[in-house]
Amino acid sequence: MTTPHPPGPDAGPATPAQGPPPLPDALLWRALTYADIPRWHALVQRIAEEDQPDWVEQRADLEQALRASKNDPRKDTVAGFDADGEPRAFGRLSRNPGSSLIHGAGGVDHAWRGRGIGRAVLAWQAWRAEMRLRETGHTEGIFRNYVEERNPSHLALLAASGSRIVRYFTEMTRPLDQPIPDLAFPEGLELLTFAEGMDRGISELVRLAHNDAFQDHWGSEPRDQESWQFTVSHPEFRADWSLALVDPSTGEVAAYQLASYDPDSQRLLGRTEGYTDLLGVRRTWRGRGLAPALLAEAMRRYRAAGMQNAGLGVDTENPSGALGLYERMGYVPTQRSIVFDLPLRVNPA
């Protein structure tokens, strides 16, 4: 495995304010709008058919990208349309308020690849990331992209851009026809599902617990109420599989597990899979077996609902030992995603 090189001060010379880099004139370029969502979604699906990712954005994800108050789709999205008005390429950015970390996402229709379009979109995104930093008074920042290891063209594109590998994430799965460990929860904690705890404000309590639990995790930023509400109202979110352990003495959530189900998992993965999106334990409650007990309970719920497997993703270098925990629970790796960072320096406005 290549050793990640975290971003440092050697980000190169400051970038002066200037216009965006040119985009290929074979397509008509403009920002994305709500009216584009059906055709944009169709483009995302065509790209997925070619690249075979483990997960594909739904229409709800694209709507959120245009709706989120933290980003301006008029400035932070771009798409190239052919003569018939079909989008053939797109790029977008997202950034949390106050952060110097900017995430990128995009793609090119397979039929339009090999023309330098992906390279041009990535250059536009990097330019726009610089402008976002400049607009908020930041002089340094990071433009970050995730790509699946089995996508060689995307890997090559990011490597050629000057971005560098900083982290690896591993997708894992576990067949549910194997015995599920019988792990008890500590006495004194109350187990609630999201469905059961809605009238007790469980969602907000879990958000606070998540922000506490993940403040020492690499690359994690606090979830605000807007982004959290999208997470727990997403079409794939399963309130009946999502669990919280509540400490009745304080009313706080000690640990939690958020789960989802992608109806396309059979087609994409060759199996139905209940998926653990988030698993966290507050630091004061660590070392008591809460995480494996929550995973085991989630597995039982997945199996009762007819799922063939349980799945999750893990930061391969997480110092908490999460990878080893999941392996002991019977999860095995399926594929990796690679995180690329492009360090940015800009002149202040």
Specify whether domain 28-168+339-345 bears CATH 3.40.630.30: yes
Per-residue pLDDT of 11-67, as tens digits, reads: 333 444 578 999 999 999 999 999 999 999 999 999 999 999 989 999 999 999 999
28-168+339-345 and 179-329 share one fold: yes
Per-residue pLDDT of 236-292, as tens digits, reads: 999 999 999 999 999 999 999 999 999 999 999 999 999 999 999 999 999 999 999
Per-residue pLDDT of 163-211, as tens digits, reads: 999 999 999 999 999 999 999 999 999 999 999 998 899 999 999 999 9
Per-residue pLDDT of 245-260, as tens digits, reads: 999 999 999 999 999 9
What residue spans define the domains of the chain?
A: 28-168+339-345, 179-329
β-pairing, 273-281 vs 101-108, is unpaired
> For the stretch 124-137, what's the b/e string if a residue is b when 16 or more beta carbons lie within 10 angstroms of its beta carbon?
bbbbbbbbbbbeee
Question: Can you give the pLDDT at residue 69?
Answer: 80
So what's the architecture of 179-329 in CATH? 3-Layer(aba) Sandwich (3.40)
